[in-house]
Structure formats: C-alpha cells, structure tokens
Amino acid sequence: MSENPAPRTRMSLMLRMRQEPDNQSAWNEFVREYGPQIYAWCRRWQLQPADAEDVTQTVLLKLSRHLRTFT
C-alpha cells in the first residue's frame, strides 16, 4: 500500500501567517492543506477519530500561538 507523501511546507504561506497572525484567509488555507495530514498521522497512531480530531485541533492551536516567534 503506498502512502501519499506529506505536503511540502509552503514557506510563503508560513511567512504570511507569521507576519499577519490575524489573516483568516491564510489560516484557512493552512488548516485545509495540513489539517488532514495531521489527522491522518493521528489515525495511523491508532487514535480514535474523535481523539484524532482533538489532537489535530490542539496542534493547530499551539502552532497559532507559537508561529510569531518561529524562525
């Protein structure tokens, strides 16, 4: 069974999110692109669907809090 490769991180998107943390469009794009990948990792680790959703949200929330200082 072949797995889909992880999407490459788009530095332009990360930079937009860092420079404009309230840019809802950039965050929506990030969540749409990377949220499913985070969720898929959680499911591969055999988390139940609800737990995988919780972990995905937690990861995205922590990212939003720490992105301003990310280099």
Residue 20: its pLDDT value, please?
Answer: 86
Residue 5: its pLDDT value, please?
Answer: 59
Residue 50: its pLDDT value, please?
Answer: 98
DSSP secondary structure, 5-50, as one string: PPPPP-HHHHHHHHH-TT-HHHHHHHHHHHHHHHHHHHHHTT--HH
Residue 49: its pLDDT value, please?
Answer: 98
pLDDT, block means (10 residues), the chain with 71 residues = 59 84 89 94 97 97 82 70
Residue 13: its pLDDT value, please?
Answer: 84
